[in-house]
Amino acid sequence: MEVARSKEGIFVSQRKYNLDLLTETRMLGYHPANTPIESDCKLGNSYDQVPVDKEQYQNLGGSHEKHMETVNRILRYLKTTPGKGLLFRKTDRKTIEAYTDSY
């Protein structure tokens, strides 16, 4: 986790972690994805799904091919977000504002 202080407040991000993860998984060369997951994605524990390499899914969180496709999509999405993080502005107010582009 990276923390940067400025006159605006405190900015927290995981830029280095994201880039290290993309490097470790060899995803740096892949095209980025605009969203972390496809809207029609259905994940389950179906018996007809193709299993993936045990070591790979233990590290990344998916035991079937569809799970790994989804994990890879999320990694491609992370390529678009290396500079993103949380900015805690200097203020006397005790409120939290959140913005999202998801539904």
Structural domain boundaries in the chain: 2-89
- CB-CB contact of 88 with 95 (8 Å): no
- Residue 98 C-alpha from the chain's centroid: 18
- Beta strand residue intervals within 1-103, DSSP E: 2-5, 9-13, 85-89
Q: With beta carbons less than 8 A apart as the criterion, state whether 19 and 29 touch.
A: no
The pLDDT value given to residue 103: 57
- Residue 95 is predicted with a pLDDT of 78
pTM, two decimal places: 0.63
Please tell me the predicted confidence (pLDDT) of residue 6.
94
> 30 with 73: CB under 8 angstroms?
no
pLDDT attached to residue 13: 93
- Per-residue pLDDT tens listing for the chain (103 residues): 999 999 999 999 999 999 998 998 888 888 989 888 877 777 666 566 666 566 655 556 555 677 778 888 889 999 988 889 998 888 877 777 777 776 5
pLDDT of 98 reads 78
Q: What is the pLDDT of residue 43?
A: 66
